[in-house]
Amino acid sequence: MLNKCVKNLFVFSVLFSNFSCLAAQGNLIIKDITLIDGTGRAAMSNMNILIEGEMIKKVQGSDFSKSERRGARIIKGKGKYLIPGLMDIHIHLVGSTKVSKEGIRKVALDRAKGIRALQGYLYSGVTSVYDSGNVPEYIFELREQERAGEISSPRIFAAGGIVTYPGSHGSGAGATLLNEWPSAIPALDKHLSWKPDMVKLTLEERGWGARPLIPLLPLSLMEEIIRYTNYEGVRTTAHAASELRAMQAIYAGVDSLSHPVITGPISDKFAPFMAIKQTPMATTLTIGENYSRLVEHPEFLEQALYQATFTKEEISQLKTEQRDKYKDATWTWWMKLMTPIAQENIRKINEAGGILALGTDKSSGPAVHREMELLVKAGIPIADVIRIATLHGAKFLGKDRELGSISAGKLADMVILDSDPLLDINNAKHINTVIKNGQVVDRSKLRIQ
């Protein structure tokens, strides 16, 4: 098939210099759609998008030429809305560990569960995820399968195991524990041999909320790890929960922050500081809010996206066992108290011009829609929320030259919506079509129920 294509291309290219095999075989054109391109600029009506192979070739108001239209599949966009594929830059894919009866988390691989969650992301319009800490052999195998086109999944970017100090936050299953420099180099080399898309560090001694103090990664060691990792061509991100630790992580050289400030209100100087530094910060409101939401409003699980992407057993487990567990946890009510504070911190950083990127710290497609709702409830304009959920996610990953907006020259990841998300962010749930890497996704195959 490919040989024939190449041969034809050779013969025809002598006659027509512009002829391309791909153009004749499978261009995709979206016609007359309202475009919200992810950059934050105003929506544009009656736009036409030409997708050639995996790339966005042209975005324009006028129609395409005859040769561009020849053989192309046309999607009629009249009355519909086009946004870039959503990105969740903080997940921990389910299916790698299980908590034992004694409450200890152990490695227990359940790939079917993980693949189901990945399908749920794609079904929900999420075309890229960054797994911010997982069992390396589990997540990197899935990443390989996704890149080979063997599984239906959003693009997978992954940290692998978390890198931190013995006993500190995140030093559980799969973690790489580093003690001191330079004796830590062989262990860090081994970690980097997995080819993580971004190394995840933690700068967290707890001692806030309902959590007792634990050891903290020393800043001098953190600096060495970041310098070494960056010199290997890999970006870094850090878990930090307070203004002080977030600022220290930035000065240690970190490339992004995995959480907003959640321990209390930020000072007046922090939002302008984040605008100056332009260090992308993940929003992760959903993780904190999900505990009390499940206790107080379990009916959210009746929403169409949850019903389509969770099994009946998962929903019933959440409504019973999980809900009972959350009801009695101090953490549930602490996080309920702190969520509005984190929302206000985030709103201020956005208003000042800092870069926020959508992350849920959860493991499901519908959670991405909840995160957008919580950002809108924080008082952030919807147009900004869409940019936070798309282009800023790509910036967080250092991939904004290839992903994150609907612009010529970028990879064709996008979602067609039946109603206007700028009027109500809930309209982003009215998904008509998902396109990943230039291919229309068959969503009917991704539904669970």
CA-to-CA distance for 283 and 373, rounded, in angstroms? 12
Q: Which stretch binds Zn ion (CB under 5 A): 14-22, 71-79, 353-361, 368-376?
A: 353-361
With respect to Zn ion, which residue has the nearer C-beta, 132 or 364?
A: 132
Q: Which stretch binds Zn ion (CB under 5 A): 128-136, 228-236, 268-276, 427-435?
A: 128-136
CA-to-CA distance for 216 and 229, rounded, in angstroms? 20
With respect to Zn ion, which residue has the nearer C-beta, 132 or 290?
A: 132
With respect to Zn ion, which residue has the nearer C-beta, 362 or 436?
A: 362
Closest distance of CB 157 from Zn ion, Å:
14
Q: How far is CA 111 from the centre of its chain?
A: 20
Closest distance of CB 74 from Zn ion, Å:
42
Q: Which stretch binds Zn ion (CB under 5 A): 122-130, 295-303, 357-365, 377-385?
A: 357-365
Q: Which stretch binds Zn ion (CB under 5 A): 62-70, 132-140, 198-206, 320-328?
A: 132-140
**In this structure, are strands 163-164 and 176-177 parallel, antiparallel, or unpaired?**
parallel
With respect to Zn ion, which residue has the nearer C-beta, 48 or 128?
A: 128
Q: Which of 120, 168, 111, 183 is nearest to 143 (CA)?
A: 111
Residues 269, 209, 253: CA angle, nearest 5 degrees: 45
With respect to Zn ion, which residue has the nearer C-beta, 131 or 314?
A: 131
Question: Does 361 participate in binding Zn ion (rule CB under 5 A)?
Answer: yes
Closest distance of CB 33 from Zn ion, Å:
35
Closest distance of CB 260 from Zn ion, Å:
12
Taking CB positions, which residue lies at the least distance from Zn ion?
361
Question: Does 371 participate in binding Zn ion (rule CB under 5 A)?
Answer: no
Classified as helix, coil or strand, 230 is helix
Which residue type sits at 390? T
Does the CA dihedral 10-14-17-19 come out positive or negative? negative
CA atoms within 13 A on the CB side of 265: 5
Tell me which residues in 133-172 interact with Zn ion (CB under 5 A).
none
CA atoms within 13 A on the CB side of 57: 18
Q: Which stretch binds Zn ion (CB under 5 A): 104-112, 127-135, 219-227, 264-272?
A: 127-135
Closest distance of CB 90 from Zn ion, Å:
6
Closest distance of CB 127 from Zn ion, Å:
20
Site string for Zn ion, 83-122 (x = CB under 5 A): ----------------------------------------
Site string for Zn ion, 277-306 (x = CB under 5 A): ------------------------------
**In this structure, are strands 44-52 and 55-60 parallel, antiparallel, or unpaired?**
antiparallel
- Element housing 31 (H / E): strand 28-35
Closest distance of CB 133 from Zn ion, Å:
6
Burial class, 39, CB count within 10 angstroms (exposed 0-12 / middle 13-18 / buried 19+): middle
Q: What is the dihedral of CA 60, 65, 71, 77, to 10 degrees?
A: 30
Q: Which stretch binds Zn ion (CB under 5 A): 27-35, 110-118, 354-362, 401-409?
A: 354-362
Classified as helix, coil or strand, 397 is helix
Count the site residues for Zn ion by CB under 5 A.
2
With respect to Zn ion, which residue has the nearer C-beta, 128 or 132?
A: 132
Does the CA dihedral 194-163-366-34 come out positive or negative? negative
The residue ranges that bind Zn ion (CB under 5 A) are 132, 361
